[in-house]
């Protein structure tokens, strides 16, 4: 008879998932100078004023369920961000973490991106 330690397996899986999502990956655009981690209101205002609606775009891509745990939900969001970054048909999206965010608020020139809605 083989003994299975499902509690230990579950704990290990939870730790693995937590490590994957610990970096707090966020989606932003190349021209948004605001740090979405600490300047959320300014970041969001810039994003919506430019017509990107990044949060709504992410919400359309993420596969979510009320049955997911908090860690599984964070993993689903990370996977959706990765999918958007891989597609990135407009070439404007980047993923940032608290460690990789570059303060561009003092930069005077940004790539110009125009979104046309028809």
Q: Which residues pair with 27 in a beta bridge?
A: 95
Tens of pLDDT, residues 64-86? 889 998 888 888 999 999 999 99
pLDDT at 108: 47
Cα–Cα distance for residue pair 81/95, rounded to 1 Å: 7
pLDDT exceeds cutoff 60 at 60: yes
- Residue 52: alpha-carbon gap to chain centroid: 14
pTM of the model: 0.69
Cβ burial of 37 (10 Å; 0-12, 13-18, 19+) is: middle
């Amino acid at each position: 008879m083989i003994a299975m330690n499902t509690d230990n397996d579950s704990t290990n899986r939870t730790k693995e998932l937590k490590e994957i999502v610990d970096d707090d990956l966020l989606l932003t655009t190349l021209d948004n100078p605001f740090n979405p981690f600490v300047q959320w209101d300014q970041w969001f205002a810039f994003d919506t004023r430019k017509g990107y609606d990044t949060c709504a775009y992410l919400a359309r891509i993420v596969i979510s369920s009320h049955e997911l745990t908090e860690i599984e939900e964070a993993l689903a969001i990370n996977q959706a961000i990765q999918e958007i970054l891989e597609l990135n048909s407009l070439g404007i999206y980047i993923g940032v973490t608290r460690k990789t965010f570059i303060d561009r608020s003092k930069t005077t020139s940004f790539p110009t991106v125009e979104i046309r809605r028809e």
